Amino acid sequence: MDKFIVTGGTRLHGAVKVCGAKNAILPILAASLLSSGTCVIHNVPLLQDVVVMTDVLKCFGARIKWENKALIIDAKDVHPAEIPEETVKKMRASNLVLGPLLARFGYVKIPYPGGCAIGSRPMDYHVKGLQQLGADIQDGYGFIEAKSEGLMGSEIYLDFPSVGATENILMAAAMAKGVSVLRNAAREPEIVDLARFLNRMGAKIDGAGTDIIQITGVNCLGSVEHTVIPDRIVAGTFLLAAAITGGDITLINAVVDHLEPLIAKLREAGVSITKNGRGIRIKGNKGLRAVDIKTMPFPGFPTDIQPQMMALMTVARGTAVFAENIFENRFKHADELRRMGADIKVAGRIAIVKGVEKLTGAVVEASDLRAGAALVLAGLAADGVTVVENIFHIDRGYFRMEEKYAVLGANIIRVTKHNSNPYQFENFTSQREIQFPEKKRLSLIKIN
């Protein structure tokens, strides 16, 4: 498996452009299954998850190609089919085909997505919402099977503003008969982007971005051209990388409004941030203060930035209390940060982080996507060399992270089976043994 070797101690500086949002393109790709025309999508991030989702669309007969940097999807001839179980296991978001396929064909069957490293992640809100639109849903033997003679608009109340459930319900209701009103809907920017995409196809959706969304069903959805919003989590990770290294960077193409919860907390911590249209300049400073974090649905502090924020707080002055309110098991990075010298205590959904003078390089393991990003950030600030293992998790959401960060002066080397720079790798492994202060010790990194 690939790993990153991160050499700490460089202050990041320069300017970098933020790519399209993973969590926006995934539901948009699913929504393209509703189109009886052609979907042209710009600013698509070249991520592992995007490849998996396009494979899912191909299972249903969608034709997909790249043309002039745009992703073109022709879903005219799609048909019901089964998605292989390993695909759903690779990526939970493949459950987003439930709503569109049910709306278009009156039938869909997908393997039950199950839990993942950060929590159990059930599907009950999705199922209840689709049932309220008139679907007959069987949930058993490891599958969700949904049928309908024709979905009917309805009043739906979500027990929790689930992002995925809001998206599945929006897509299904877009082609239901009559009007649906979805209350306690998720308000994330990615929901707004999905609604914009659907409306450009001919849907009638009002109120996306608020907690009440009204959807008037239409018979048919057509061709669309759309540009995906910038990724607020990728942008937030850059901001935190600058803050933790005391750097000075400018983000190009970031939407300031989407980043307000993080910007507010960074300012509270003593970081200087200047906003300028779609640009944000951040200047880290040495006197970082500890701040408390409570993750909440948008516009609250995003759970997807919590691990990276925790990395920053490990070196802040004082004690920061983290309350993780979205996922029940999202502190796995704390164990790994501890290997690097961090002082963190975890009790259930609360983590208490006491800032230390310095982190030290160690061998650590990414347990999931954002936990992996947090470890890279910690490595950038640490004394010495950090090895981040299992970086396939990171590749799911950050396109060639090491190259993007190299533009800002970071020293991150990817070690792969087919390393493109074998000399650097060979010198690195054969000439010295790297000492680590914690339990794990790296003696040799082997290329198979």
- Phi, psi torsion values for 256, nearest 5 degrees: -55, -45
Residue placing its CB nearer to ligand UD1 in the complex, 228 or 413: 228
Are 256 and 284 in contact, with CB atoms under 8 Å apart?
Answer: no
- The H or E element spanning position 13 is strand 13-17
In whole angstroms, give the CA distance from residue 151 to residue 130: 9
The count of C-alpha atoms lying within 13 angstroms of the C-alpha of 112, restricted to the half-sphere facing its C-beta, is 16
According to DSSP, the residues that pair with 279 across neighbouring strands are 252, 276
Residue placing its CB nearer to ligand UD1 in the complex, 74 or 188: 188
Task: Report the residue closest to ligand UD1, judged by CB.
Answer: 164
Residue placing its CB nearer to ligand UD1 in the complex, 190 or 336: 190
Strand order in the sheet with 136-140: 107-111, 143-147, 136-140
According to DSSP, the residues that pair with 63 across neighbouring strands are 74
Are 386 and 364 in contact, with CB atoms under 8 Å apart?
Answer: yes
To ligand UD1, the closest distance from the beta carbon of 331 in angstroms equals: 14
What beta strand segments (E) does 85-168 contain? Answer: 107-111, 136-140, 143-147, 155-157
In whole angstroms, give the CA distance from residue 233 to residue 22: 9
- Phi, psi torsion values for 97, nearest 5 degrees: -80, -10
* Closest C-alpha to 366, from 354, 378, 358, 356: 378
Residue placing its CB nearer to ligand UD1 in the complex, 24 or 315: 24
To ligand UD1, the closest distance from the beta carbon of 264 in angstroms equals: 18
Burial 252-279 (b: 16+ CB within 10 A, else e): ebbbbebbebbbebbeebbbebeeeeee
The binding site for ligand UD1 (CB under 6 A) comprises: 23, 26, 92-93, 119, 121-126, 160, 162-165, 190, 303-304, 326-327
To ligand UD1, the closest distance from the beta carbon of 164 in angstroms equals: 3
Catalytic residue flag (residue 59): no
Residue placing its CB nearer to ligand UD1 in the complex, 62 or 93: 93
Q: Is the peptide bond before 299 cis (omega within 30 degrees of 0)?
A: yes
To ligand UD1, the closest distance from the beta carbon of 33 in angstroms equals: 16
To ligand UD1, the closest distance from the beta carbon of 329 in angstroms equals: 10
Residue placing its CB nearer to ligand UD1 in the complex, 50 or 326: 326
Residue placing its CB nearer to ligand UD1 in the complex, 71 or 387: 71
Q: What would the two tokens of residue 228 be?
A: 């995906």
To ligand UD1, the closest distance from the beta carbon of 4 in angstroms equals: 21
To ligand UD1, the closest distance from the beta carbon of 23 in angstroms equals: 3
Are 388 and 357 in contact, with CB atoms under 8 Å apart?
Answer: no
Q: What would the two tokens of residue 185 be?
A: 């809907």
Residue placing its CB nearer to ligand UD1 in the complex, 124 or 433: 124
Select which of 39, 59, 116, 220 is catalytic. Answer: 116
The contacts of residue 355 (CB under 8 Å, 6+ apart) are 288, 290, 313, 314, 315, 316, 317, 318, 319, 320, 343
To ligand UD1, the closest distance from the beta carbon of 18 in angstroms equals: 16
Which residues are marked as active site?
116
